[in-house]
Amino acid sequence: MLRGPARAAVSAGERRAGSRRARLPDERVEALRFRLETYVDHGVSPACRALTSQRAQKGRGS
């Protein structure tokens, strides 16, 4: 799915977050948000915007 710097940043972020904290829903949301911001920083923003807008529309519908 991801290549190069973005993938490395994700794995680094997951290591930083730690498995214990990641079990809590709020922390998981924060981790996802961190990942999205990381992708945007690495120039994957168009794909990210498409994904997040799709998710937002689905969330509003249900």
Tens of pLDDT along 1-60? 556 666 666 666 666 555 555 556 777 788 888 877 776 665 555 666 677 666 666 655
Q: Is 18 part of any domain?
A: no
Structural domain count of the chain:
1
Q: Is 52 part of any domain?
A: yes
Q: Is 15 part of any domain?
A: no
- Write out the residue range of the structural domain in which residue 57 sits: 31-62
Q: What is the value of pTM for the model shown?
A: 0.26
CB under 8 Å to 42, separation ≥6 — which residues? 4, 5, 6, 9
Residues 58 and 53: their CA atoms lie apart, in Å, by 9
Q: Is 44 part of any domain?
A: yes
DSSP structural state of residue 29: H
CB 39 within 8 A of CB 2: yes
Residues recorded for the chain: 62
